[in-house]
Structures are given as structure tokens and as C-alpha cells.
Amino acid sequence: MKKFFSPEPVIFSVNGGTPEGKSATIANFKNAFSLGADAVFTTIGITSDGKLVAGSESDTGGFDRGVSGGMTLAELKQKSPASDLFPELNVILEEFPDGRFCFNLAGDNQHVAELFCDAVKKADATDRIMIGFAGGKIIGRIRRTFPGMATSFSIAGFLGFYMLFRSGLLYFFRNFKADAFITPESIGISHIGNQGLIKQAKEKGIHVFMLNVNEKNHVKRLVEIGADGFFTENLSVVMEALSDKHKTI
């Protein structure tokens, strides 16, 4: 098992981990860790002057696709409603030398992969990062550079895994490059968060993390079927649900 998963990161905060703290800021990350998050999830994009910065959909439309509107970091900050938006990746890693992060690397720009690898090397942060989502070119470069870094399936990779499960062929596949999959409980009419899929994934050493978990009943149901962790915008609710669950054991 890769070091990122030990101890198992049960709770991932989405940025600040509260309904009011959706923006990607150092202050919101600090708040998430203070509330008990095991790891912080945020999106990393690139500015027109080649800076890797954290952002969210609440900060600027299209950021999750790696689009900064052709703006430099200075221009982004100038147009931002708050001065602490868009912290640089190297600042985040320096500010939290022991903090674990799950990054969505937006776009599929090889330059993003190069800058990301440089920042991780400088901060010696390989073991405390998981790549949550990334394009094929980026994830391939990162896996070659950091074989020990935790990575999840790309969207296409996860869909392939799911189709193998639905077809009954998953049993015959042993080795996967990804260490985890991150998914909502349902996609359209497909119920992804089911006990059979989770069981088979875990038998193959793949960790299962569920998105958009913000209610106590949701947490308890997913714990029962074996999910390894949760991505939440409401840390207090998830932690309370887990505490209640432990009290009943």
C-alpha cells in the first residue's frame, strides 16, 4: 500500500470543508485541517504566465478545465473578489509541510505536468499527494516520474473499469495503474456506489472514495457497503456520522 493511504484518509474536504468555505484559499485549507479533514481536495490550473494555482468553480467559471481566460496570476487576482484567492501550488505545499492533498490537475497540458513535478520534488511531497483527476498525458508523466505517488483512475479509465464490472470480466484483470477511484454514488441511471463493485475493487487493492457526501444517512449507508472515504463540503456532518457509527460498534 502506498504511503498516502496510511493512515487511511477517510475524510477529504472539498476546499474548506464547509458550505461557506468553497473557495480554494490557504485560510480555508487551514480550517479544513483544523476541523479534522485527513486530506484537502482542490483543483490546480495554470495561468497564462505559467503559474500553477488552486481554484474552484466558485472562484471563476471554467477553472476546472484549466482555463484562466488568458490571464496572468496578477490579472486573476486583480479581478478576484478576495485577495487570498488562487494560491500557488508551491505556497500550498510549503504552508502545509505535513498536510495531505488530493489534486485535480485541470486540462491536459504537458507543461502542467512538468511544473507540477518540479513543485512536488522541491517540496519532497510525493507521499502526501494523490492525483484525483488528470488528463492522460499528465497522469502518465506523473506516474513515470513518481511511481510511489497515489493516483486515481482518469474518467475514461474508471468508465472502463465499471464496464468490466458490469460485463462480468473484471475478475480476469489483475493489475491496474490506478490506486483508487473517486466517483459519485450514481452517474445518470447507473448506481456506481454498490457493494459488489466496491468489494471487487478492494479485492484488487483499489481504494474507493465517494464524492458529494454531505448527509449523515449517506455516510452511514456508504460505510456499510465498504467505501474507504468521502469527499465532503460539510466536514462536521460527516465526522459526526462516523462518530455515531463507531459508538454503535
- The domain made up of 155-249 has a fold known as Rossmann fold (3.40.50)
Give residue 114's pLDDT.
Answer: 94
- 135 or 230, which is more confident: 230
Grid coordinates standing for 201?
475493487
Give the Cα separation of 75 and 69 in Å (integer).
Answer: 10
Strand, coil or helix: 43: strand
Phi, psi for 182 (deg, rounded to 5): -120, 120
Grid coordinates standing for 44?
490546480
Residues 146, 152: contact at Cβ < 8 Å? no
Distances (CA, A) of 228 to 169, 214, 219: 23, 15, 11
> What is the number of residues in the chain?
249
Percent pLDDT > 70 in the chain is 93
Banded pLDDT at 247 (limits 50, 70, 90): very low
Residue type at 100 in one-letter notation: R
Ranges of each domain in the chain = 1-151, 155-249
Give the Cα separation of 107 and 217 in Å (integer).
Answer: 35
Do 155-249 and 1-151 fall under one CATH topology?
no
Give the Cα separation of 40 and 17 in Å (integer).
Answer: 8
Q: pLDDT for 158-196, tens place per residue? A: 889 999 999 999 989 988 999 999 999 888 888 888 999
Is 249 a residue whose pLDDT tops 50?
no
Q: Which of 76-85, 146-155, 159-168, 228-237 has the lowest mean pLDDT?
A: 76-85
Give residue 2's pLDDT.
Answer: 94
Q: Which of 211, 131, 209 is nearest to 177 (CA)?
A: 131
Q: Which of 120, 100, 89, 77 is nearest to 26 (CA)?
A: 89
For 29, half-sphere exposure in the C-beta direction (CA atoms, 13 angstrom radius) is 29
The structural architecture, per CATH, of the domain 1-151 is Alpha-Beta Barrel (3.20)
Q: Which of 78-82, 123-127, 140-144, 166-170 has the lowest mean pLDDT?
A: 78-82
Phi, psi for 63 (deg, rounded to 5): -60, -35
- 155 or 123, which is more confident: 123
Is 9 a residue whose pLDDT tops 90?
no
Give residue 76's pLDDT.
Answer: 83
pTM over 0.75: yes
Helix/strand/coil percentages in the chain, nearest 5: 40, 20, 40
Is 107 a residue whose pLDDT tops 60?
yes
Q: For residue 42, how many other CB atoms are within 10 A of its CB?
A: 26
Give the Cα separation of 201 and 143 in Å (integer).
Answer: 20
Radius of gyration over alpha carbons of the chain, in Å? 18
- State mean pLDDT over 207-235: 94
Is 82 a residue whose pLDDT tops 90?
no
Give residue 243's pLDDT.
Answer: 84
- 57 or 137, which is more confident: 137
Q: pLDDT for 31-76, tens place per residue? A: 999 999 999 999 998 888 999 999 876 665 555 555 566 788 888 8
Banded pLDDT at 244 (limits 50, 70, 90): confident
